[in-house]
Structure 1
Amino acid sequence: METPSSAGRYTIDRLLGSGGFASVWLGRDEELDSPVAIKILAEHWAQRTDVHERFVQEARLLRQVDSHRLVQVFDIGEQEDGRPYFVMTYADRGTLDERLAEGPLPLNEALRMAREIIRGVQELHEVDIVHRDLKPSNVLLRSVPGGDAERVMISDLGIARTGDRLSSLTLPAGSPGYMAPEQTQIDGAPDQRADVYGLGALTYHMLTGEPPGQTRRPPSDLQPAIPHAVDQVVLRALEPDREKRWPSAAEFGHALSRTTSRINTDPLPPARPARGGSPARGRRRLAVITGGTLVGLSLAGGGAFWAFGGSGGSGESAPDGKWLRAGSDVPPQYRALIVQAGTWCDMKGLSPALIAAMLKAESNFDAKLSDPAGDEYGIARWTPKVLVFWQPGGLNNPEPKPAAITPELSIPAMGRYLCYWGKDLRDLPGDPALNLAATYRSSSKTVAQAGGVPARFKPYTDKVHRYLEDYLPR
């Protein structure tokens, strides 16, 4: 990716982050002598009017709320090649994700930040916007002049839904570890309570240093200094059944404030070592609603990241050796994406080593693979007409062109697919990892009917098994 020299009247310094649809750059407003963040649509989407409109819509939503608790949009324009860009607040203190890489926040700081994030989400809900992708990398931090104070800002409304679209068909969208259970389902119709779950997951992570796992352990199990009353408030936000959650961000915020008004503000003791694997984090088959019935099609799914950063799983900041063997031929630039895909959910057989082995078998890590005869492209061999169903926002986003099927778009999709269809394989005999690999090459129904890896896919799973042995950490 070449660094553009400018965007309109703004000079550009360096890349801050990129994803499947856009990149974000550190720029400077020379007239006002101020740093800014500039989000620019990716080159391969430049000619798509529908993508252009969706990109601009994100800027409009941020401008509509116009709150200091959200990233603010100051300007919008187009590059000479027609790509739109918009100019935003620059978060000079980075992201909450970076802050949490150092461990849990002090108790008073975690609760203060949680309340600020909740208030920002309240402001979205007041204008009928559901964020749907609350996670640490979408919470930005900016210094405030005159002291150590900082402003907390919510970013990335790329997969947000507004009130007029909340009742339409929805496809799985969100980030593992932070999205509500209904967001993993086709037509889960997430509403404001999906954001309540995301807020609960963020609060849990800030208090404990870890996202909540599927077991929903009380935060005080990991940090004994956390009052049990806080446990109860946070765990209610994380209820799998949305009818049992706090009904709104405002109710969650009020409950948290009431519970914590007299809490001792001493810092938490050091975090306990993590136990077991990572917290929980869904190609060939897709459930399509037809006449009220779920019908399985032999298709390929995928995951896209509308805003920069693209990922949000805790595996990104984990040491490489925890997930993949040091010294193996897994390309370093794809390791974070592979860890994210391999920790998308807590499923027997799924691991970053399996994802790496499958990528090796599929393309030998060739990000530019092109197989027009099979209509498969990129490092994970995706089919564009299928990827459109699985990207965040589903059919609200356009079908990607082959050149747009980047590793950032396609590797996380492997984990999404395997988590979604892997549930059909729970009682099958054989190696769970190889059953998952065979499902990726065929379908969960095919593997289930065969009682394991079908004979015609055995050469493929043999290759995966061989590579898996090379990539598993010692």
Structure 2
Amino acid sequence: MTAPSQAGRYRIEQLIGVGGFASVYLAQDDELRSPVAVKILADNWARQDDVRGRFLQEARLLRRADSHLLVQVFDLGELDDGRPYFVMTYADRGTLEDRLSGGALAVEEALGLMRDICQGVAVLHSIGVVHRDLKPSNVLFCSRPEGGERVMVADLGIARSTDHLSGLTLPAGSPGYQAPEQLYFDGAPDARADVHGLGALTYHMLIGRVPAKPEQRVPPSALRPEVPEAIDAAVMRALDPDREARWPDAAAYAAALSPSTAVPPPGGERPSSEEAPSDGEAPSSGEPPSGGEAQVRRPEKGRRRAIAGGAAAVVAAAAVTAVVVNIPQTPEPPGGTRATASPPPASGSTSQWLRNDSDIPGQYRGLIVQAGTYCKEPGLSPALIAAMLKAESGYDPGLSDPVKDEYGISRWTPSVLWFWQPGGLQSPKPTPPFSPELSILSMGRFLCTLGPRVADLPGEPALKLAALYRSGVDPLKRAGGIPERWRDYTEKVSRYMRDYQPG
């Protein structure tokens, strides 16, 4: 069928892309005097109800997300011949596929782009959507009116809402980028399938080609020595054939690409920003004060200057472009069943993880279980989360310490909680008072993201995680395990854990 000359009020100018089910045209919105892209379902599919429904679903998902990090949908309509169309952002600077035709990108350019792409995918994950087809042709670029460009994730044609992934799921994705589980019927891919796609995109941008088969795959630095070791580790974990071993979602992968947390020491000994280390790890702190007062992580500036890549960089000092998502957002658990903001389970339903006759407040037990089972990191458990909360605040949700800028049941600072909250920097920067839901679930994200970086150190896994929460990665690595200054704290956590573990 010939191309239409008009789609509603939009004047069609030229064909700019053809896919298996639809074509995309450059058009002009003469009313608003701006170019737009119009996606029109192919005539041979327009009478297939399932394909038509999927086409309209893509438009609705993009409209629901409504993020500048994704292609935005402005209008929906139907041609005179019955074909549906929707109107979206025109990507006037082409695709990532175009740019990769010339080979690998500069390392900093690649990492900057990946942080933007991860943020876009994290928006989808925050609303319970799995993209399932991340590849270079689905990453677009659009000029900014003020200069420069923005990255947009596109094409949700085979995206699925997580609440529909429990049923029959057909194979999907593109070779080289699709996760192993996407090759099978009923593979039920979740957010971790997108993490695999993001890892493959990172590898492609750094090396100039898609990753080899798992048995033949080497870290990016083996082919390009200037790639940092930390990026090697993050990318290879994202590409792990076992989805249980991957990062749990796009936000966690973005954090792994841009580790930037620090721990202020107690009292008035907090280091200035000039004293912050430049290696992206957390500096060690002094002895924990009596009464279980906690030291909480805050973004470290030196590392941010080295790795921030544009206005949508995952770790940015003051120029972060935040996507407004209602908070507290709930995380995308590794198992693919999205957590909800519904009231936590009654204490009886959590008895397999926590003792019923303990002093854990009943209203927090469900949240503690969610945080303690967020991933399968060795040592992480609901009993550990409960013991840490007891040590940090004595379960006081109204804790307020303006001198240290620490608040809530987990003693987060606002700038650090912004990074580790479910949804990450895609959610608005939180302001005190912090809800227990937000505070507790963010502990799970922190431990799941940074825990693997100390997993090979000697020591009891749970207590290493407790020390990690107080000190960050680097002090544990320098000490070859739990630093001496945190032994009293971890012993206290150990005692509480024994009180909280069932049986």
TM-score after normalising by structure 2: 0.51
| Structure showing greater relative contact order (alpha-carbon pairs closer than 8 Å, 6 or more residues apart) | 1
1:380-431 CA distance string (max 9 Å, x none):
xxxxxxxxxxxxxxxxxxxxxxxxxxxxxxxxxxxxxxxxxxxxxxxxxxxx
Partner of residue 42, structure 2: 42
Partner of residue 237, structure 1: 238
SS in structure 1 at match of 2:13: strand
Q: Which runs of 5+ in 2 are unaligned?
A: 261-279, 281-302, 308-503
Partner Cα separation in structure 2 for residue 247 and residue 46 of structure 1: 37
Larger Rg: 2
1:361-381 CA distance string (max 9 Å, x none):
xxxxxxxxxxxxxxxxxxxxx
Could you tell me how far 1:14 is from its partner in structure 2?
0.9
Q: Is 2:25 the counterpart of 1:22?
A: no
Closer, same or farther: CA 216–263 of 1 in aligned 2, 3 Å: farther
1:320-351 CA distance string (max 9 Å, x none):
xxxxxxxxxxxxxxxxxxxxxxxxxxxxxxxx
Could you tell me how far 1:48 is from its partner in structure 2?
2.8
Partner Cα separation in structure 2 for residue 46 and residue 200 of structure 1: 35
Amino acid in the other structure paired with 2:190: D
Partner Cα separation in structure 2 for residue 206 and residue 88 of structure 1: 26
Amino acid in the other structure paired with 1:108: E
Partner of residue 193, structure 2: 194
Q: Is 2:264 the counterpart of 1:257?
A: no
Which stretch has the larger CA shift, 103-112 or 76-85? Answer: 103-112
Partner of residue 177, structure 2: 178
Partner Cα separation in structure 2 for residue 262 and residue 76 of structure 1: 41
Amino acid in the other structure paired with 2:253: F
Q: Is 2:30 the counterpart of 1:68?
A: no
Amino acid in the other structure paired with 2:169: T
Partner Cα separation in structure 1 for residue 164 and residue 7 of structure 2: 32
Partner of residue 203, structure 1: 202
TM-score after normalising by structure 1: 0.54
Partner of residue 399, structure 2: none
Partner Cα separation in structure 1 for residue 30 and residue 204 of structure 2: 38
Partner of residue 342, structure 1: none
Amino acid in the other structure paired with 1:98: D
Q: Is 2:87 the counterpart of 1:87?
A: yes
Partner of residue 10, structure 1: 10
Partner Cα separation in structure 1 for residue 98 and residue 135 of structure 2: 12
Partner of residue 52, structure 2: 52
Amino acid in the other structure paired with 1:73: V
Q: Which runs of 5+ in 1 are unaligned?
A: 266-474
Please give the residue correspondences for 1:4-403 in structure 2 after superposition, counting only pairs within 5 Å: 4-147=4-147, 149-214=148-213, 215-258=216-259, 261=303
CA contact (8 A) 1:46 1:81 kept: no
CA contact (8 A) 2:162 2:190 kept: no
Aligned length: 266
Could you tell me how far 1:146 is from its partner in structure 2?
2.7
Partner Cα separation in structure 1 for residue 225 and residue 258 of structure 2: 20
Could you tell me how far 1:262 is from its partner in structure 2?
6.5
CA contact (8 A) 1:36 1:88 kept: yes
Could you tell me how far 1:104 is from its partner in structure 2?
1.3
1:48-83 CA distance string (max 9 Å, x none):
333322211110000000000000000010000111
Closer, same or farther: CA 225–262 of 1 in aligned 2, 3 Å: farther
Could you tell me how far 1:130 is from its partner in structure 2?
0.3
Partner Cα separation in structure 2 for residue 104 and residue 225 of structure 1: 13
Partner Cα separation in structure 1 for residue 36 and residue 170 of structure 2: 33
CA contact (8 A) 2:135 2:197 kept: yes
SS in structure 2 at match of 1:177: coil
Could you tell me how far 1:246 is from its partner in structure 2?
0.9
Amino acid in the other structure paired with 1:156: D
CA contact (8 A) 1:216 1:235 kept: no
SS in structure 1 at match of 2:141: strand
Could you tell me how far 1:121 is from its partner in structure 2?
0.7
Amino acid in the other structure paired with 1:122: A
Partner of residue 304, structure 1: none
Please give the residue correspondences for 1:427-442 in structure 2 after superposition, counting only pairs within 5 Å: none
SS in structure 1 at match of 2:258: helix
Could you tell me how far 1:116 is from its partner in structure 2?
0.6
Amino acid in the other structure paired with 1:127: I
Partner Cα separation in structure 2 for residue 228 and residue 262 of structure 1: 17
CA contact (8 A) 2:77 2:85 kept: yes
Partner of residue 436, structure 1: none
CA contact (8 A) 1:100 1:206 kept: yes
Could you tell me how far 1:221 is from its partner in structure 2?
1.7
Amino acid in the other structure paired with 2:12: I
Amino acid in the other structure paired with 2:158: I
Partner Cα separation in structure 2 for residue 142 and residue 262 of structure 1: 25
SS in structure 2 at match of 1:43: coil
Closer, same or farther: CA 264–254 of 1 in aligned 2, 3 Å: closer
Could you tell me how far 1:232 is from its partner in structure 2?
0.7
SS in structure 1 at match of 2:199: helix
1:175-194 CA distance string (max 9 Å, x none):
00000011012221111100
CA contact (8 A) 2:15 2:23 kept: yes
Partner Cα separation in structure 2 for residue 66 and residue 90 of structure 1: 15
